[in-house]
Amino acid sequence: MTTATVDIAFLTAAELGRAYRSGELKPTDVVRSLLARIERLQPTVRAYITVTGERAMAEAEAAERALAVGDTRPLLGVPMAYKDIYLTAGVRTTGGSALYEHHVPEMTATTIRLLSEAGAIFMGKVATHEFASGISPEDHPLPPARNPWNLERIPGGSSSGSGAALAAGLAMGALGSDTGGSIRHPGTACGIAALKPTYGRCSRVGVFPLSWSLDHTGPMARSCEDLALMLQALAGYDPLDPASIETPVDDYTATINDGVAGLKIGVMRSWYEAKTHPDVIAAVENAIGVLRDLGAEIVDVDIPNLELEKVLSIIMGAEAYAYHKHDLETRRELYPPVLRNRMLSGGLYSADEYIDAQRARDLVCRSVAATMKDVDILLSPTRGKTALTFPEAYGDYMGAVSFTGLFNLTGQPAISIPCGFGTDDMPIGLQLAGRPFAEATVLRAANAYESATTWHKRHPAL
């Protein structure tokens, strides 16, 4: 492999690290190549809000010096993009909103600091649905990212730029956030690997909140191996995050190649089949067959009380309103109408409705936990159909059924990985969820499927 022959843009982080250590590639060459690609594709894909080219080149030069003296950090010299709700000292952080269009923070989010300490290169800040909630209109000062597989479709949200940048070959890793599926939605829409870790596993310090009791941060990449490498750097206790839990961190790469033999996978057919497009059903059934052939025990599970998962919208709405209340009262005109109305509607819930929603959430959590005593993994589609067109998203963003929010309520780790394409040539995602803090098992199962298939190796023509 040489710089002249390899398609640098679509290397994984792990492949890039191996190429650095063999001397086949240099970080400066990789960053220079990606910056040129970003410049070419940004007008159409619109993945980035802010590109930090000078910083990226300086960090690439530092990575080369470190490699020359034998530095073995797996993420050293790997270009990363960060969702623009992560604060970054000296680099503007907009939240995708006109309210913060020129905001330059003085602090850096814990997660970005950890990735920097691991040697990752800061390529820039990428697009997000505004405040990780509403997709921005086309005439917005910070227009929405587009899906590299079809520019007329959204790349999922709210970590839209993270998904688009990875699918378009504009970064090797990215950070997203997930309150109801916002890491995994771009995962399925863009055909990438995307992991929502356990609630409390990764710090949220320095990240714009949407819903305190549902928000998660986590890695997005083009392979399960890359997710494991990123999670190794990100996972850990942060005393500044009240949700952070002090519990041991696994070695996520140690077992990732152990396969699925001996794992029991619960298929949630009764929950998703009636709400899912036939293309998605077919892709998921094929994935189930692959996992069975690889040695997993496959069983159907019927979990009670899942109809109560709809309380997520009450919890999210009320908590989002509480955070935005002051700005909605003083700078309401800076919110686009659809987002403004969505945020204001959260203020209509009464205290007893919010408390009842949390009680219903507890029932859901207990039902899922009881089922997971008998299975290692729960399996479903990530969403009920492929990526929405922009008119569909503006008209009824919630119209496409999602199967992600359940695991925000329970806080369990859940991953989306590519498992096929629809008749519309758009990616389809498979969701695997595990027990709390069992990210190693989730990654092991996902990697086994990924290694047996080639969906993750397909890239859009741009």
DSSP code of 455? G
Q: Which one of 159, 162, 182, 223 is the catalytic residue?
A: 182
Give the 3-state secondary structure percentages of the chain, helix then strand then coil, rounded to 5.
45, 15, 40
Least Cα distance to 408 among 244, 217, 124, 128 occurs for 217
**33 catalytic per annotation:** no
CA-based Rg of the chain, rounded to a whole angstrom? 21
DSSP code of 415? E
**DSSP per residue over 6-47, as a string?**
S-GGG--HHHHHHHHHHTS--HHHHHHHHHHHHHHHHHHH--
- Element holding 202 (H helix, E strand): none
Question: What gap in Å lies between CA 201 and CA 154, rounded to an integer?
Answer: 29
**275 catalytic per annotation:** no
Cβ-contact 122, 82 below 8 angstroms: yes
Q: Which one of 26, 33, 83, 133 is the catalytic residue?
A: 83
Is the sign of the CA dihedral 300, 228, 168, 187 positive or negative? positive
Q: Which one of 33, 133, 158, 177 is the catalytic residue?
A: 158
DSSP code of 276? S
Say which residues have a Cβ less than 8 Å from residue 60's Cβ, sequence separation at least 6: 26, 27, 28, 30, 31, 77, 121
- Element holding 173 (H helix, E strand): strand 173-178
289: exposed, middle or buried (C-beta count within 10 Å: 0-12, 13-18, 19+)?
exposed
Cβ-contact 126, 47 below 8 angstroms: yes
**203 catalytic per annotation:** no
Positions marked active-site: 83, 158, 182
